[in-house]
């Protein structure tokens, strides 16, 4: 317990130290805030212009969560299909790899063409960004299910669906959550890309406008917000992961709580 | 999916009926015969042990009956119907405990009740009360009382294997398939589980097919022993074990018991010698 506390304090100190060093180096070398604003300036900007910033933050968060949720649903379904069918694997895998190699910025104009500028392209970009890691991980998890565990179910005359539900999906959960942590942050990237290119709302748009007027502290304030949202989402999924897949790391907390 | 909850009453005849079954793996050139043409009949309530060296096809027979492997030739009937189409309740314990790591011991043992009719129809209603008591009673029987909340990795290998036996038996199977479930255990745990297994069999009288390479285990538990040979896998000896039940470990030191295991041993050794010469 004490050990854990010490580790926490140490890591917090190091993280704080990073920002302090940033601040001090900027002061020491007289770096202009148009090039790189100091953390204190960024925080001040966040504080004083919060009323102007927060609707954009809310928009970005909303768009990302919707895109992420859609991505999870489609990702799981596709992953289950690919993971349980040889043909689906052979067909969909090369297509997925090809598709995910496309820079997502290139897709935004197409979405805008189809749905108009605004929220919809941002949601779709966020969704597309996070599908790939989820599909790959769900499919891998299903494919990695031990045949012995499936045999247990088969001798009980379990149906395919029962095997999937009782063995395949639980077995896949550690892979799934690992992918969620990656996908959550990717979803933000997707949203912001789309907002920068084609939207009049959201953090991406805010940063776009701020940078065109050389309001660099505001640009960095936007970055800070994005980072904070990303960390928050990551933490939430880590907590859920610990509760759901503690068995995979044999955690005693899981055994006690479950 | 059969709607009737009751076990279909099958004639007192054969529970397992292998008719001229052959199992081969691989294609033309590299074809390996895992099981040469074999016929085997096991009647209701028998406790049959398949013994033999590794690679003799004893696990293959078990997999055929379990339905996880299909025969290359011939027919496998379980309770008078082609395997897979039957509604016999099968319980199976494997060489490894194969417990699901994300479920605690109680839920692991409860798994068949969730899958197998008629239990599964009432699973959501009874899982908290009746089924739970049933699982606890079963765990107590193998000396695992109070371990229901533990997860598999928190238990020793022997304890996991006991839990796996509970899982194989929880749904009152009429056919029990045991694939060397005691093989990885120490001598004392093994003998303890033999006794538990025998008591369970005397009490509920399922038909049991036990795969083992331990002649003493076979002679202690089974009412009939089939000796198998490798390359190609086949049954070379089929004898009845006459000792009265309940058998105790002491029985295994008596002359009749020793001479039976000796005879089976010689049978296997002799066949191996022939094989050496042939190859």
Distance from CA of B86 to the nearest CA of A (A): 10
**Domain co-membership, A27 together with A49:** no
Mutation target to probe the A interface, by most A beta carbons within 10 A, among B100, B113, B175, B180 is B100
pLDDT for the residue numbered A257: 52
Identify the pLDDT of residue B99. 92
Give A221's pLDDT tier (boundaries 50, 70, 90): very high
Instruction: Let me know: does B90 contact B171? Beta carbons within 8 Å.
Output: no
The pLDDT assigned to A55 comes to 93
- Which of A156, A171, A258 lies closest to B112 in CB terms? A156
Q: Identify which has the larger pLDDT, B7 or A159.
A: A159
| pLDDT recorded at residue A124 | 94
Structure-model confidence comparison of residues B12 and B93, the more confident one: B93
Residues A84 and A125 in one domain: yes
Q: Dihedral (C-alpha) A228, A232, A235, A240: value to the nearest 10 degrees? A: -170
CB contact under 8 A, A152 and B92: yes
**pLDDT, tens only, B77-124:** 888 787 777 678 889 998 888 999 999 999 999 999 888 888 888 887
Give mean pLDDT, residues A55-78.
95
What is the phi/psi pair of residue B139, to 5°?
-65, -40
The alpha-carbon gap from B250 to the nearest alpha carbon of chain A, in Å, equals 35
- In this prediction, residues B170-180 reach a mean pLDDT of 90
pLDDT band per the 50, 70, 90 thresholds, residue A256: low
**CATH numbers and ranges of domains, chain B:** 13-88+174-272 (3.40.50.300), 99-172 (no CATH)
The percent of residues in chain A predicted with pLDDT above 90, rounded, is 59
pLDDT of residue A252: 67
- Chosen for mutation from B83, B148, B151 (greatest number of chain A CBs closer than 10 Å) is B151
* B94/A255 CB distance under 8 A: no
pLDDT at site B12:
52
Q: In this structure, are A1 and A76 located in the same domain?
A: no
Does A155 contact B66 at a Cβ distance shorter than 8 Å? Answer: yes
On whether any CB of chain B is under 8 Å from the CB of A248, the answer is: yes
Structure confidence at residue A53 (pLDDT): 92
Q: What are the pLDDT digits (tens) for B178-201?
A: 998 888 788 888 888 898 889 888
Judged by CB atoms closer than 8 Å, whether chains meet at A247 and B102 is answered as yes
Sheet-wide strand order for B32-43 = B32-43, B14-25, B73-78, B81-82
For residues A101 and A17, membership in a common domain is answered with: no
Residue A166, chain B, CB below 8 Å: the answer is yes
A15 and A43 part of one domain: no
Chain B within 8 Å of A256 (Cβ-Cβ)? no
Q: Does one domain contain both A76 and A181?
A: yes
Same structural domain, A60 and A2: no
- Report the mean per-residue pLDDT for chain A: 90
What CATH number does the domain containing A152 carry?
1.10.3720.10
- Confirm or reject contact between B68 and chain A (CB < 8 A): yes
Q: Does position A220 have pLDDT exceeding 90, yes or no? A: yes
User: How many other C-beta atoms can be found within 10 angstroms of the C-beta atom of residue B48?
Assistant: 24
Identify the pLDDT of residue A66.
96
Query: Quick one: pLDDT at residue B11?
Result: 47
Distance CA A3, CA B210 (A): 52
The answer to whether residue A109 scores a pLDDT higher than 50 is yes
Structural domain of residue A224, as residue ranges?
36-257
* Total-model pTM: 0.79
The model's pLDDT over A133-152, given as tens digits with 9 standing for 90+, comes to 999 999 988 888 888 888 88
Nearest residue to A135 via CA among A193, A90, A89, A185: A89
> What pLDDT score was predicted for residue B183?
83
Q: What is the pLDDT of residue B272?
A: 74
Q: Which residues of B touch A247 (CB under 8 A)?
A: 101-102, 151, 153
The answer to whether A170 contacts chain B (CB < 8 Å) is yes
Do residues A65 and A182 share a domain? yes
Chain B residue closest in CA terms to A160: B115
Cβ-Cβ contacts under 8 Å for A225 (sequence gap 6 or more)? A46, A53, A57, A60, A203
Q: Is the pLDDT of residue B211 over 90?
A: yes
A91 in B contact zone (CB under 8 Å): no
Strands B32-43 and B207-212: unpaired
What is residue B9's predicted lDDT score, i.e. its pLDDT?
44
Report whether pLDDT(A127) > 70. yes
Among B180, B186, B223, which Cα is nearest to B201's? Answer: B223
Judged by DSSP in three states, B124 sits in helix
- 3-state SS, chain A, equals CHHHHHHHHHHHHHHHHHHHHHHHHHHHCCCCCCCCCCHHHHHHHHHHCHHHHHHHHHHHHHHHHHHHHHHHHHHHHHHHHHHHCHHHHHHHHHHHHHHHHCCHHHHHHHHHHHHCCCHHHHHHHHHHHHHHHHHHHHHHHHHCCCHHHHHHHHHCCCCHHHHHHHHHHHHHHHHHHHHHHHHHHHHHHHHHHHHHHCCCCCHHHHHHHHHHCCCHHHHHHHHHHHHHHHHHHHHHHHHHHHHHHHHHHCCHHHHHHC
- Residue A56: predicted pLDDT: 94
Residues of A in contact with B76 (CB under 8 A): none
Query: CB of B228 within 8 A of CB of B56?
Result: yes
Whether residues A5 and A107 fall in one domain = no
Is the pLDDT confidence value at A258 over 50?
Answer: no
- Quick one: pLDDT at residue B213? 87
Q: How many domains does chain A have?
A: 2
Both A22 and A77 in one domain: the answer is no
For residues A135 and A227, membership in a common domain is answered with yes
- Considering only alpha carbons, which residue of chain A is nearest residue B173? A156
**Nearest chain B alpha carbon to A169:** B102
Chain A residues with CB-CB distance to B171 below 8 A: 156
Q: pLDDT-derived band of residue B278, with 50, 70 and 90 as boundaries?
A: low
How is residue B278 annotated by DSSP?
A: H
Quote the CA–CA distance of A191 and A129 in Å, as a whole number. 9
Residues of B in contact with A173 (CB under 8 A): 102
pLDDT for position A255: 66
Contact B92 A155 (CB under 8 A): yes
* B170 touches A: beta carbon within 8 Å: no
Q: Which of B90, B102, B150 shows the shortest C-beta gap to A155?
A: B90
The answer to whether B261 and B241 are in contact (CB under 8 A) is no
Q: Check residues A247 and B151 and name the one with the higher pLDDT.
A: B151
Q: Is the pLDDT of residue B7 over 60?
A: no
Binary contact (B116, A156; C-beta < 8 A): yes
**Is a pLDDT exceeding 70 seen at residue B4?**
no
Q: Which residues make beta-bridge pairs with B211?
A: B50, B179
Query: Residue B209 pLDDT > 50, yes or no?
Result: yes
Cβ neighbours of B112 in A, within 8 Å: 156
Of A146, A162, A170, which is closest to B102 when you measure between CB atoms?
A: A170
Q: pLDDT by residue (tens digit) across B218-260?
A: 999 999 999 888 878 888 888 888 888 888 888 888 888 898 9
User: Percent of chain B, pLDDT > 70?
Assistant: 93
For position B3, what pLDDT does the model report? 41
For B71-80, B105-114, B208-217, which range has the lowest pLDDT when averaged over its residues? B71-80
Domain co-membership, A41 together with A20 = no
The residue in chain A having the minimum alpha-carbon distance to the alpha carbon of residue B89 is A156
Which pLDDT does position A210 carry in this prediction? 92
Neighbours of A145 (CB within 10 A): 19
Distance from the B97 Cα atom to the nearest Cα atom in chain A, whole angstroms: 10
């Amino acid at each position: 317990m004490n050990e854990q506390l010490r580790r926490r304090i140490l890591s917090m100190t190091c993280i704080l130290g990073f920002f302090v060093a940033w601040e001090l180096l900027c002061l020491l070398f007289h770096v202009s805030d148009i090039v790189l604003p100091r953390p204190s300036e960024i925080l001040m900007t966040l504080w004083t212009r919060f009323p102007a910033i927060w609707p954009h933050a809310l928009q970005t968060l909303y768009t990302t969560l919707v895109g992420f949720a859609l991505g999870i649903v489609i990702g799981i379904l596709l992953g289950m299909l690919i993971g349980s069918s040889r043909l689906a694997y052979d067909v969909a895998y090369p297509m997925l790899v090809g598709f995910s190699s496309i820079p997502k910025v290139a897709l935004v104009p197409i979405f805008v063409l189809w749905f108009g500028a605004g929220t919809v392209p941002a949601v779709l970009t966020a969704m597309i960004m996070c599908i790939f890691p989820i599909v790959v991980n769900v499919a891998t998890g299903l494919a990695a299910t031990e045949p012995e565990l499936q045999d247990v179910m088969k001798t009980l005359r379990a149906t395919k669906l029962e095997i999937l539900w009782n063995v395949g999906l639980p077995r896949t959960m550690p892979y799934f959550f690992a992918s969620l942590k990656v996908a959550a942050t990717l979803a933000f990237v997707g949203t912001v890309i789309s907002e920068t290119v084609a939207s009049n709302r959201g953090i991406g748009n805010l940063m776009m406008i701020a940078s065109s007027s050389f309001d660099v502290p505001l640009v960095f304030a936007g970055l800070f917000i994005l980072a904070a949202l990303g960390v928050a989402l990551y933490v939430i999924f880590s907590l859920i992961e610990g509760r759901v897949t503690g068995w995979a790391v044999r955690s005693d907390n899981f055994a006690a709580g479950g | 999916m059969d709607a009737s909850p009751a076990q279909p009453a099958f004639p007192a005849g054969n529970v397992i009926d292998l008719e001229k079954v052959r199992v081969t793996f691989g294609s033309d050139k590299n074809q390996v015969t895992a099981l040469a043409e074999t016929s085997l009949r096991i009647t209701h309530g028998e406790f049959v042990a398949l013994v033999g060296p590794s690679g003799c096809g004893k696990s293959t027979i078990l997999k055929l009956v379990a339905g996880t492997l299909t025969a290359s030739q011939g027919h496998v009937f379980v309770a008078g119907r082609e395997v897979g189409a039957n509604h016999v309740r099968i319980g199976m314990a494997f060489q490894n405990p194969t417990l699901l790591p994300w479920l605690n011991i109680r839920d692991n043992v409860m798994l068949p009740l969730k899958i197998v009719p008629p239990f599964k129809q009432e699973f959501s209603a009874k899982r908290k009360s009746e089924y739970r008591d049933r699982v606890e009673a079963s765990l107590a029987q193998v000396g695992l009382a109070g371990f229901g909340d533990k997860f598999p990795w928190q238990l020793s290998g022997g304890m996991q294997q006991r839990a796996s036996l509970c899982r194989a038996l929880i749904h009152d199977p009429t056919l029990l398939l045991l694939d060397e479930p005691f093989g990885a255990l120490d001598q004392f745990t093994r003998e303890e589980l033999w006794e538990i297994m025998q008591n369970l069999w005397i009490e509920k009288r399922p038909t049991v097919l036990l795969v083992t390479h331990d002649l003493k285990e076979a002679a202690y538990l089974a009412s009939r022993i089939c000796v198998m040979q490798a390359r190609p896998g086949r049954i070379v000896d089929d004898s009845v074990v006459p000792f009265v039940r309940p058998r105790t470990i002491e029985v295994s030191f008596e002359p009749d018991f020793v001479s039976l295991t000796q005879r089976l041993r010689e049978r296997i050794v002799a066949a191996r010698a022939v094989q050496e010469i042939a190859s």
